[in-house]
Chains A and B, each alone.
Chain A
Amino acid sequence: MKRTVLIMFLMAAALGVVFAAPAGQKTINFLGTWGGQEADVFMAMVKPFEEKTGIKVELESTRDLDAVITTRVEAGNPPDIAALPGPGKLVELAQGGKLIELSKILDMKEFDKNYSSGWKTLGTVNGKLYGVFMKAAIKGLVWYDPVTFRDKGLTVPTNDWTWTQMMDLSKQAISKGLAPWAIGVESGSASGWVGTDWLENIFLRVNGPDKYRDWYEGKLSWTSPEVKKAWETWGQIIADPKMIYGGSGYVNSTNFGNAAAPLFAQPPQALLHQQASFIQGFITTQFPTLKPVQDFNFVAFPSIDAKYSKAVESAADVVGVFRDTPEIRQFVNYLASAEAQAFWAPTGALATNRNVPLSAYSDELTKRAADILNKSEIVVFDASDMMKPEMNAAFWSAIVSYVDNPKQLDSILAGLEKVRREAYK
């Protein structure tokens, strides 16, 4: 009997040693969606920090971040830091008390020097700062191949072009045997988001930033004339088989990353492509011989109502912090610094830290995009990313349904309205 008790005691002691051993946090667990080239850049960015401090940063990458983060937070095993794809999730986690308030962690004087009030406001929930934005993109740029315009005798649009001019240009493209638009909305579990960008850019230019905010805050009905007008305006393109390359089946089955390819096919198949600034990276990876500016270029999204022509839609990843240790503090401060953010610049991602010099960008196009972002008058964030997750997901799949059958618009909007009523009650 004595021996048994002794064994039990030893056993408990051994377990105690294992679980109590404070491993003196030398590794930071960072969860994000960044894979491939993005992961390489992240690791390059982390390297100087690791060398300086001896703290290791471990990147865990997933494309289904929403689900992974929910599970880990619920299981009481959150990452130390996570890069969330939008403010929607940030708000949810902050309200649930899962995130650390950043003013306790960051050197706020430094932060205010580096970030515009716009980014600060976006990262603030109930008056407290919870998120630092990084890796920004301008959404709704219209990409084209200048060579095609020259060969076909078409005039390249300017940044102040209008929707009517865009429709005229589209008709000319059709007469030259080109599809006006190349569109692809497939993106795995986020399929449809490309279409939400279209709608957001149209909505913003039809209804202005105030209505835009009502819309993503769930205060505007999906069956309202404002929302319907935006869908119908997009319908002038997406519902017309002559306007899109390959028809609706192609749009739904083509991954957004390959969607610009018909512009650069030999001979070219399509004239225009709407996508965020980050598509540049996809274009140059897929077609390494193409040079920015001379082989591909962009103009702003056409204006619809002149009042709102200066609006720009942006998106960015937002970093939230789940644990507060001296090591994590050090890393978050580094992450927010101009030094760290400059690593992203050559990849076509735009820095939100305004002290990243334009010279950090490797080409003219990205430089121009960064400049637009720094100088624009009305910057709004991607509306779908600001919506509640179920609203966002319903919006994504509504896009796929609309592309498939635009005649169903009323029932699609009614379906979205039902989700809104439930999500924002």
Chain B
Amino acid sequence: MHTNYILVAVVALAVIPIFLWAYLMITERIAAHASRKAAGILRPWFWILPAVSLLIIFLVYPVVNTVVLSFMDARSENFVGLQNYLYIFSDSGMLVVLKNNLLWLVFFTLVCLMLGLLIAVLSDRVKYESVAKACIFLPMAISFVAAGVIWRFMYEFRPAGTPQIGTVNAILTALFPNFEPKAWLFNRSTNNIALIVVGIWMWTGFAMVILSAGLKGISEDVLEAARIDGAGEIAIFFKIILPLMMPTITVVATTLIINVLKVFDIVYVMTNGNLGTEVIANRMYKEMFNFRNYGRASAIATLLLLAIIPVMIMNLKRFNAEEKNG
């Protein structure tokens, strides 16, 4: 069964255009035989059909199937009703998971937005703007897994009195001689925040770049007029810049929210969900691949989907509104 993948790829490359061309030839012939009016109605459907069928096979079908599986048992053999959902909202481990996602949602989104905005506004006023922004944006280029590994080293812990090899503990013990080094990732009071900090480190750059672009879009004349009228810089920020940037901020916020609900890699690499750090996606992965409980894994996936839908609708609405305005 060892297929020659290169050959398959080459053939596919040739076959797909030929197939599409043949498909259009055939449908055009059908349209040609139909009346003018019917052809007008049919033609767009013929053209859209390949794309729609791909969408149905790869997107709609899996979603529907996941929802169906979520009402079935571990091996997808019998219907169990709402049992998987009841489990999600009653199991003590799952409640920790939901609480953690909420923690991520609030802290990650707010801090990313605020830091992103702050850096965008401040860097706008200095000569070395591009360098500063590049530094903040750089972590975006690193994969989550690599970031997790890097930060594991940063958070390394050695007992008090021995040389600290983790950057965080090394800096803190050097600055404050009385500081007790901490095992940041293995201490229930700090581990979730320690993980969220990694996420923030990675995504602040994204927020900053988009917000900075939005900021540049604000006409200098408006700000100039406000200054002439005697407005202070702080008043200008809160009364002019912030309201004008609201659409951009919403876009960034929704993107961040969608991303934070899916957070997986950081937790997987750094703590594997131990000591109360598990999040929805990690739990889903474990139920699916380690415990092979397809019912529960699907129920969790459905829940995640339901949580993301309102955010997506908001995004779409705003997008539509902007299209109309534009």
User: How many angstroms from the CA of A249 to the CA of B188 in the assembled complex?
Assistant: 10
B150 adjacent to chain A (CB < 8 Å): no
A18 adjacent to chain B (CB < 8 Å): yes
Residues A25 and B159 in contact in the complex (CB < 8 Å), given A67-B285, A70-B292, A389-B290? no
User: How many angstroms from the CA of A19 to the CA of B15 in the assembled complex?
Assistant: 14
B240 smallest CB distance to A (angstroms): 48
Task: Write out, one digit per residue, whether chain A residues 295-321 have a CB within 8 A of any chain B CB (1) or not (0).
Answer: 000000000000000000000000000
Contact B289 A23 (CB under 8 A): no
Contact B290 A393 (CB under 8 A): yes
B268 adjacent to chain A (CB < 8 Å): yes
User: How many angstroms from the CA of A250 to the CA of B7 in the assembled complex?
Assistant: 53
User: How many angstroms from the CA of A247 to the CA of B286 in the assembled complex?
Assistant: 29
Residues A400 and B274 in contact in the complex (CB < 8 Å), given A7-B18, A253-B183? yes
A192 CB contacts on chain B under 8 angstroms: 274
Residues A18 and B290 in contact in the complex (CB < 8 Å), given A7-B18, A11-B15? no
A411 smallest CB distance to B (angstroms): 9
A189 CB contacts on chain B under 8 angstroms: 268, 272
B157 CB contacts on chain A under 8 angstroms: 246, 249-250, 253
User: How many angstroms from the CA of A11 to the CA of B1 in the assembled complex?
Assistant: 21
**In the complex, which residue of chain B has the Cβ closest to the Cβ of A388?**
B291
B43 adjacent to chain A (CB < 8 Å): no
A7 CB contacts on chain B under 8 angstroms: 18, 22
A245 adjacent to chain B (CB < 8 Å): yes
A160 adjacent to chain B (CB < 8 Å): no
Contact A253 B185 (CB under 8 A): yes
User: How many angstroms from the CA of A250 to the CA of B160 in the assembled complex?
Assistant: 10
User: How many angstroms from the CA of A71 to the CA of B22 in the assembled complex?
Assistant: 36
Task: Write out, one digit per residue, whether chain B residues 264-281 have a CB within 8 A of any chain A CB (1) or not (0).
Answer: 000011001111000000
B156 adjacent to chain A (CB < 8 Å): yes
User: Which among A247, A249, A390 has the highest number of chain B CB atoms within 10 Å?
Assistant: A249
Residues A400 and B290 in contact in the complex (CB < 8 Å), given A18-B3, A18-B11, A250-B159? no
B303 smallest CB distance to A (angstroms): 20
Residues A4 and B25 in contact in the complex (CB < 8 Å), given A400-B275, A401-B274? yes
A191 adjacent to chain B (CB < 8 Å): yes
Residues A15 and B11 in contact in the complex (CB < 8 Å), given A27-B2, A397-B273? yes
User: How many angstroms from the CA of A155 to the CA of B300 in the assembled complex?
Assistant: 56
B8 CB contacts on chain A under 8 angstroms: 18-19
**How many A-B Cβ pairs are below 8 Å?**
102
Q: Which residues of chain A in 42-85 are interfacial with respect to chain B, using CB atoms and an 8 Å cutoff?
A: 66-67, 70-71
Q: Which residues of chain B in 1-46 are interfacial with respect to chain A, using CB atoms and an 8 Å cutoff?
A: 1-4, 7-8, 11, 14-15, 18-19, 22, 25-26, 29
A4 CB contacts on chain B under 8 angstroms: 22, 25-26
Contact of A18 among B7, B159, B291 (CB under 8 A): B7
B158 adjacent to chain A (CB < 8 Å): yes
Q: How large is the interface on B (under 10, 10 to 19, 20 to 34, 35 or more residues)?
A: 35 or more
A162 smallest CB distance to B (angstroms): 30
**In the complex, which residue of chain A has the Cβ closest to the Cβ of B285?**
A67
User: How many angstroms from the CA of A64 to the CA of B189 in the assembled complex?
Assistant: 28
B274 CB contacts on chain A under 8 angstroms: 191-192, 252, 397, 400-401
Contact B275 A8 (CB under 8 A): no
B78 CB contacts on chain A under 8 angstroms: none
Residues A8 and B159 in contact in the complex (CB < 8 Å), given A70-B292, A250-B183, A400-B275? no
Contact A250 B11 (CB under 8 A): no
Contact B290 A67 (CB under 8 A): yes
Contact B26 A23 (CB under 8 A): no
B133 adjacent to chain A (CB < 8 Å): no
B186 CB contacts on chain A under 8 angstroms: 248-249, 252-253, 400, 404
Contact A66 B290 (CB under 8 A): yes
B250 adjacent to chain A (CB < 8 Å): no
B182 adjacent to chain A (CB < 8 Å): yes
A188 CB contacts on chain B under 8 angstroms: 269, 272
B290 CB contacts on chain A under 8 angstroms: 66-67, 70, 389-390, 393
A253 CB contacts on chain B under 8 angstroms: 155-157, 183, 185-186
User: How many angstroms from the CA of A198 to the CA of B274 in the assembled complex?
Assistant: 19
**In the complex, which residue of chain B has the Cβ closest to the Cβ of A26?**
B2
Contact A66 B275 (CB under 8 A): no
B187 adjacent to chain A (CB < 8 Å): yes
Contact A66 B15 (CB under 8 A): no
A250 CB contacts on chain B under 8 angstroms: 157-159, 183
B133 smallest CB distance to A (angstroms): 34
User: How many angstroms from the CA of A401 to the CA of B188 in the assembled complex?
Assistant: 10
Contact of A8 among B1, B3, B22, B155 (CB under 8 A): B22
Contact B29 A390 (CB under 8 A): no
Task: Write out, one digit per residue, whether chain B residues 284-303 have a CB within 8 A of any chain A CB (1) or not (0).
Answer: 01101111110000000000
Contact of A389 among B26, B155, B156, B291 (CB under 8 A): B291
User: How many angstroms from the CA of A67 to the CA of B155 in the assembled complex?
Assistant: 27
A60 smallest CB distance to B (angstroms): 13
Given contacts A27-B2, A250-B158, A400-B275, 18 further A-B contacts (CB under 8 A): A11-B22, A14-B11, A19-B3, A21-B3, A21-B4, A70-B292, A71-B289, A245-B159, A247-B159, A248-B186, A252-B186, A252-B275, A269-B162, A389-B290, A390-B290, A393-B286, A401-B274, A401-B275
Q: List 15 A-B contacts (CB under 8 A).
A: A1-B29, A11-B19, A23-B4, A26-B2, A71-B289, A92-B292, A188-B269, A192-B274, A246-B157, A249-B183, A250-B158, A389-B290, A390-B291, A404-B188, A415-B93
Give A contacts to B, CB under 8 Å. 1, 4, 7-8, 11, 14-15, 18-19, 21, 23, 25-27, 66-67, 70-71, 92, 188-189, 191-192, 245-250, 252-253, 269, 389-390, 393, 397, 400-401, 404-405, 415
Enumerate the 9 nearest inter-chain pairs by beta-carbon distance, A residue then B residue, closest first.
A249-B183, A67-B289, A246-B159, A252-B186, A390-B291, A400-B274, A23-B2, A253-B183, A189-B272
